[in-house]
Chains A and B, each alone.
Chain A
């Protein structure tokens, strides 16, 4: 089935065209087409995933390419797919969440006038994201990257009759373009120096030293800029909360499976090219994002805005995790987050559908009215808050561990761990604030409360499925085994993220039989055997490790030889192991402590009312206002970027109006003058000559016509006279 993976993206594309062309005339307005194609994609993805899972090889890779576009001999752009463990996981995440969102949308969007177009857009969104996941070169990932941007624009601005929705769509698109610009420059920099576009070709070229040092750092940061835009990282996070203007299932799709996941996936996909400096940049971007957005979520009162900022914050965690070297941690959080955040969003959609309001100040007590939504929402909240046994705890704890380990090795960067830990507490606080104010307590608005009702099955079934996937036992064990950090291809020994000394850079580039052929092959790297040979690492063991719900239950030594985690030399192994263990234990205790504290605080403030939030807010009025206004980011951008652009445009407009238009008008005036003179010449000289000829002809005619009298005797007289004259001339 793996060799047919390329079919998966085309399935939704098919229903996109179908729904776009004849969707309105189809029975049920064509929602079944989108649903069926993405469902088929889900089935195929699951089959592929289980095939990969059965192979259970961290270095598994299926890579096939065909020449796609030849630009004059040497330079050929290849089309192809790359399926490794990460891709297989992402395929399931994308198709799974997308399928559930489709299912949920059938209920949520029921009766919308643009129903079939909505499903067409959902399909093209899924197509773009699946293409992005399967891409095997920078060129194709960029194409699908832009397609994702376009589809998100179409869906966020789906209700474009509303000005705010149209604006949000534009904002998302434009803000993303800024990041995409960096991405384009980044990969063009790589292309300019290496001359190739495929991931593995680029990696190998970097390993050969074709690009390095500052230039490589810049290229890495440039590519990361794309992730900053798509994954809503500081300072381009501003589009994500506004994107809430789209339909709620779309928010779920954007936040869980597509769009924002694309940025994190990109960083994971090109992980080997980042230099230590680039990693540091990534880590701090993640830290700033996760902290700022979490503080904004503390005061937001719109249920979807809270979730949006929490998404930003969780994406910050993923980016931070990737930045500090926790490759597995970041991507695990991406996967677990997809399930519980989709559940939260669809849950909020269910609530909004029932209450017709997004303000949590107007809710409360919905637990009795919507028990299924409440339970599933609570499970997802426990997960995001990092409560043990839930998936969020498993992945977030891995990130915190990586951050702590990084901080222990580089004490000057300990703030990465401290900030993330503090934010873990804030996350628990604001999420439970949301749950308590929405579902518990007394209803604030009785009219809306009386109207509320549980959603229909096609809306709560996805919730139940996603809530079920929010437990950690689904992920622990195999995820850490299968999705392992790729070996960095940078040849110089990196200072902070010591890549395995002596590791052959080419080792990460797997064999590629069938590269230019149509016959695909399954490629394995030699190093795969090592991890298989390690005891306690067999597929049978995951259940044994499930208890802790995190990867540290795996003997750290088991992971090192595969070139995976914090790779170290043989000598430092014992020390490294110790550090790893210490980091894990401490991060686990601390995160549980902070999470508990956050939850407890939320209950104290909002459930028991021991602390009056109003009083706290007024006591810290400036801080509260500052947070309520989202750190004034929109205002800042309005003042600088937007107004700057406007002023610049005005200047350009003035230039256009006066200089360019002036030149054009001058040319036109010259033309008018010349034409005037030519006209004079034409009228006077040319026409004069013509008229003159005519006048002369008329004049001479009027003279000579008199000779023709028509009287016979005149002619005879002239005839005779003429003969006489001739006769006389002859005679004399």
Chain B
């Protein structure tokens, strides 16, 4: 396994996440896309930590990101619950109140 291959895996994960966000209408699916992007970033952190700096700062950062992702998921799911209670759906298209 080389750094290049790991970066390609990270980029692929990122693209998958981005694609999910752009194409899915379900808010939970969008959240899952965001998780993919975060994990893409984690792959990059760990890869760079292993091959470039010889230190474990990057790996620790990845742990932080995982914690952050968990917190984010909790907040986001709470928001979706409220959204569902208000509008009866979790389709992100319906929540366009900020439209100009």
Residue of B22, B23, B30, B99 near A709 (CB, 8 A) is: B99
In the complex, chain A residues 218-234 whose Cβ is within 8 Å of any chain B Cβ: none
Instruction: Indicate if the CB atoms of B93 and A711 lie closer than 8 Å.
Output: yes
Instruction: Indicate if the CB atoms of A708 and B22 lie closer than 8 Å.
Output: no
Encoded as 1 (CB less than 8 Å from any A CB) or 0, chain B from 58 to 93 comes to 000000000000000000000000000000000011
Instruction: Indicate if the CB atoms of A710 and B22 lie closer than 8 Å.
Output: no
Among A316-324, A498-506, A712-720, the stretch that binds chain B is A712-720
Give the residues in chain B near A717, CB-CB below 8 Å: 22
How close is B32's CB to chain A, nearest CB, in angstroms? Answer: 14
Instruction: Indicate if the CB atoms of A710 and B96 lie closer than 8 Å.
Output: yes
Q: Is A704 an interface residue (CB 8 A)?
A: yes
Q: Is A705 an interface residue (CB 8 A)?
A: yes
Q: List 30 A-B contacts (CB under 8 A).
A: A704-B100, A705-B100, A706-B100, A708-B99, A708-B100, A709-B96, A709-B100, A710-B95, A710-B96, A710-B97, A710-B98, A710-B99, A710-B100, A711-B92, A711-B96, A711-B99, A712-B21, A712-B30, A712-B92, A712-B95, A713-B21, A713-B22, A713-B23, A713-B92, A716-B18, A716-B21, A716-B22, A717-B22, A720-B18, A720-B22
Encoded as 1 (CB less than 8 Å from any B CB) or 0, chain A from 679 to 723 comes to 000000000000000000000000011111111110011001000
How close is A701's CB to chain B, nearest CB, in angstroms? Answer: 9
How close is B7's CB to chain A, nearest CB, in angstroms? Answer: 14
In the complex, chain B residues 14-69 whose Cβ is within 8 Å of any chain A Cβ: 18, 21-23, 30
Q: A710-B97, A716-B22 are in contact. List 7 more A-B contacts (CB 8 A).
A: A710-B100, A711-B92, A711-B99, A712-B95, A713-B92, A716-B18, A716-B21
A709 CA to B99 CA in the complex, in Å? 5
How close is A63's CB to chain B, nearest CB, in angstroms? Answer: 103
Encoded as 1 (CB less than 8 Å from any A CB) or 0, chain B from 1 to 23 comes to 00000000000000000100111
Question: For chain A, what secondary structure do more than half of its interface residues adopt (helix, strand, loop), or is it mixed?
Answer: helix
How close is A311's CB to chain B, nearest CB, in angstroms? Answer: 105
Give the residues in chain A near B96, CB-CB below 8 Å: 709-711
A268 CA to B30 CA in the complex, in Å? 126
Binding site for B on A (CB under 8 A): 704-713, 716-717, 720
A704 CA to B99 CA in the complex, in Å? 11
A711 CA to B94 CA in the complex, in Å? 8
How close is A459's CB to chain B, nearest CB, in angstroms? Answer: 105
Which residue of B has the minimal Cβ distance to A705?
A: B100
Give the residues in chain A near B98, CB-CB below 8 Å: 708, 710
A716 CA to B18 CA in the complex, in Å? 8
A707 CA to B99 CA in the complex, in Å? 9
Give the residues in chain B near A720, CB-CB below 8 Å: 18, 22
Which residue of A has the minimal Cβ distance to B99?
A: A710
How close is A557's CB to chain B, nearest CB, in angstroms? Answer: 130
Give the residues in chain A near B92, CB-CB below 8 Å: 711-713
A713 CA to B95 CA in the complex, in Å? 12
How close is B37's CB to chain A, nearest CB, in angstroms? Answer: 10
A192 CA to B23 CA in the complex, in Å? 114
A711 CA to B18 CA in the complex, in Å? 15
How close is A722's CB to chain B, nearest CB, in angstroms? Answer: 13
Which residue of A has the minimal Cβ distance to B98?
A: A710
How close is A702's CB to chain B, nearest CB, in angstroms? Answer: 10
A706 CA to B21 CA in the complex, in Å? 22
Give the residues in chain A near B93, CB-CB below 8 Å: 711
Give the residues in chain B near A707, CB-CB below 8 Å: 100
- Among B21, B23, B30, find the residue whose CB has the most chain A CB atoms closer than 10 A: B21
A713 CA to B92 CA in the complex, in Å? 9
- Among B22, B23, B30, B95, find the residue whose CB has the most chain A CB atoms closer than 10 A: B22
Which residue of B has the minimal Cβ distance to A709?
A: B99
How close is A697's CB to chain B, nearest CB, in angstroms? Answer: 14
A713 CA to B21 CA in the complex, in Å? 7
Give the residues in chain B near A716, CB-CB below 8 Å: 18, 21-22
A713 CA to B23 CA in the complex, in Å? 8
Give the residues in chain B near A713, CB-CB below 8 Å: 21-23, 92
- Among B23, B96, B97, find the residue whose CB has the most chain A CB atoms closer than 10 A: B96
How close is A167's CB to chain B, nearest CB, in angstroms? Answer: 88
Give the residues in chain A near B97, CB-CB below 8 Å: 710
Give the residues in chain B near A704, CB-CB below 8 Å: 100
How close is B63's CB to chain A, nearest CB, in angstroms? Answer: 26
- Among A706, A709, A713, find the residue whose CB has the most chain B CB atoms closer than 10 A: A713
A705 CA to B98 CA in the complex, in Å? 11
Give the residues in chain A near B21, CB-CB below 8 Å: 712-713, 716
A469 CA to B44 CA in the complex, in Å? 144
How close is A363's CB to chain B, nearest CB, in angstroms? Answer: 111
A711 CA to B24 CA in the complex, in Å? 12
A708 CA to B99 CA in the complex, in Å? 5
A438 CA to B37 CA in the complex, in Å? 139
Give the residues in chain B near A708, CB-CB below 8 Å: 98-100
How close is B94's CB to chain A, nearest CB, in angstroms? Answer: 10
Give the residues in chain B near A711, CB-CB below 8 Å: 92-93, 96, 99
A285 CA to B36 CA in the complex, in Å? 134
A710 CA to B21 CA in the complex, in Å? 15
Which residue of A has the minimal Cβ distance to B23?
A: A713
How close is B92's CB to chain A, nearest CB, in angstroms? Answer: 5
Give the residues in chain B near A706, CB-CB below 8 Å: 100
How close is B15's CB to chain A, nearest CB, in angstroms? Answer: 10
A711 CA to B30 CA in the complex, in Å? 13
How close is B52's CB to chain A, nearest CB, in angstroms? Answer: 20
A708 CA to B96 CA in the complex, in Å? 9
Which residue of A has the minimal Cβ distance to B21?
A: A716
Give the residues in chain B near A709, CB-CB below 8 Å: 96, 99-100
A335 CA to B22 CA in the complex, in Å? 129
How close is A662's CB to chain B, nearest CB, in angstroms? Answer: 65
How close is B5's CB to chain A, nearest CB, in angstroms? Answer: 21
Give the residues in chain B near A710, CB-CB below 8 Å: 95-100
Which residue of A has the minimal Cβ distance to B24?
A: A713
- Top 9 nearest A-B pairs (CB, nearest first) are A708-B100, A710-B96, A710-B99, A705-B100, A712-B92, A713-B22, A710-B98, A716-B21, A709-B99
Which residue of A has the minimal Cβ distance to B97?
A: A710
How close is B67's CB to chain A, nearest CB, in angstroms? Answer: 24
A710 CA to B92 CA in the complex, in Å? 9
- Among B21, B22, B97, B100, find the residue whose CB has the most chain A CB atoms closer than 10 A: B100
A713 CA to B20 CA in the complex, in Å? 10
Which residue of B has the minimal Cβ distance to A713?
A: B22
A720 CA to B15 CA in the complex, in Å? 10
A705 CA to B96 CA in the complex, in Å? 13
A713 CA to B96 CA in the complex, in Å? 11
A478 CA to B98 CA in the complex, in Å? 120
How close is B41's CB to chain A, nearest CB, in angstroms? Answer: 13
How close is A699's CB to chain B, nearest CB, in angstroms? Answer: 15
A711 CA to B100 CA in the complex, in Å? 11
How close is A723's CB to chain B, nearest CB, in angstroms? Answer: 10
A122 CA to B44 CA in the complex, in Å? 122
How close is A711's CB to chain B, nearest CB, in angstroms? Answer: 6
Give the residues in chain B near A705, CB-CB below 8 Å: 100
How close is B26's CB to chain A, nearest CB, in angstroms? Answer: 11
A460 CA to B95 CA in the complex, in Å? 115
How close is A337's CB to chain B, nearest CB, in angstroms? Answer: 109
Which residue of A has the minimal Cβ distance to B33?
A: A716
Which residue of B has the minimal Cβ distance to A715?
A: B98
- Among A708, A710, A720, find the residue whose CB has the most chain B CB atoms closer than 10 A: A710
A712 CA to B83 CA in the complex, in Å? 14
A713 CA to B97 CA in the complex, in Å? 14
How close is A506's CB to chain B, nearest CB, in angstroms? Answer: 110
Which residue of B has the minimal Cβ distance to A720?
A: B18
